[in-house]
Amino acid sequence: MMDSESQKIIMCDSVDKESYQTAYPRFKKLREQGLNPEFVTMDGHRSIIRAFKKVWPKINIQRCLYHIQREGLRWLRTYPKTEAGRELRKVLASVCAIKNVKERNEFIDSYKQWSLNYQSFVKSLPRAIVAYKDLSKTMALISNALPDMFYYLDDSKVPSTTNKLEGFFSRLKADYHRHRGLSKKHKNTYLKWYCCFHNQSN
C-alpha cells in the first residue's frame, strides 16, 4: 500500500495469494495504528474490497481506470469478430483520458448507448461461443465498476489509477530478480528493506 501524495509505502508484505484472509488482519492492524483513509484506489479484486469495507466501512473505493481499460480490452481482444465488440473497444479506449465531468458524462452516455444498441444482440448469442463470453465479461466489468470510477473528478487528491504503485512494483521486481534464489524469509526481509530505503529517499 502506498500513500499517493508522498509516494511512501504504508504497508508491505509477501503473501502466497491475495485474499480476504491475508488482507483483513493487515488492514485491521493499520487501523489500530491510526490509519483512517477516506479513499483507496485499487483494482477490482472483490475479496480485497470486502476487507477494506470491513475495516473501514465508510471508505470510498476508486476503481483504477487503467485496470478497467486493460482488462476490458484484453477480453474484447485486439480484433473483435463482432461489431458490438469493435464498438465497445472504442468506448473503453477513452476511459483513461477522462479529465472532467463533461468527458465523464460523454463516456457514460456512450456506454449506455452501446448497451441500448447491443445488449439484446449479446443476450441472443450462444452461451458457449467466445464472443458471448468476452462481451458479457466486459459488460459486467464496466457496469460493476461504473459507480466507483470517478471520485477523482471531485477530489484531486484521489488518483484515478494505481500507476504510481505499479511503477514502484515494476522497479522492485526488476531489482529483486537480481537476487534470485532467496528463501521466503530472506525474500520478506529484502522487501521490507527495499521499501524502507524507498521511504527514506522520498
Which DSSP string do the residues of 177-199 spell out, in sequence order? GGGTT--HHHHHHHHHHHHHHHH
Q: How far apart are CA 20 and CA 42, in angstroms?
A: 15
- Mean pLDDT across 93-119: 98
Residue with cell 479513499: 39
* pLDDT at 12 (0 to 100): 93
Q: Percent of the chain beyond pLDDT 70?
A: 100
Show me where the domains of the chain are located: 20-63+162-196, 65-147
* pLDDT at 181 (0 to 100): 80
* pLDDT at 182 (0 to 100): 85
Note the pTM of the prediction, 2 decimals: 0.92
Average pLDDT score over the chain = 95
**Cβ–Cβ under 8 Å, residues 146 and 72:** no
| Per-residue pLDDT reduced to its tens digit, 115-154 | 999 999 999 999 999 999 999 999 999 999 999 999 999 9
| Per-residue pLDDT reduced to its tens digit, 35-64 | 999 999 999 999 999 999 999 999 999 999
Our separate counts of H helices and E strands in the chain read 8, 2
Query: Band of the pLDDT at 107, cuts 50, 70, 90?
Result: very high
Sequence-distant contacts of 139-142: CB under 8 A, at least 24 apart: 139/88, 139/115, 141/44, 141/68, 141/71, 141/72, 141/75, 142/68, 142/72, 142/92, 142/111
Q: How far apart are CA 48 and CA 39, in angstroms?
A: 14
* pLDDT at 202 (0 to 100): 83
| Partners of residue 62 on adjacent β-strands | 41
Residue with cell 484531486: 156
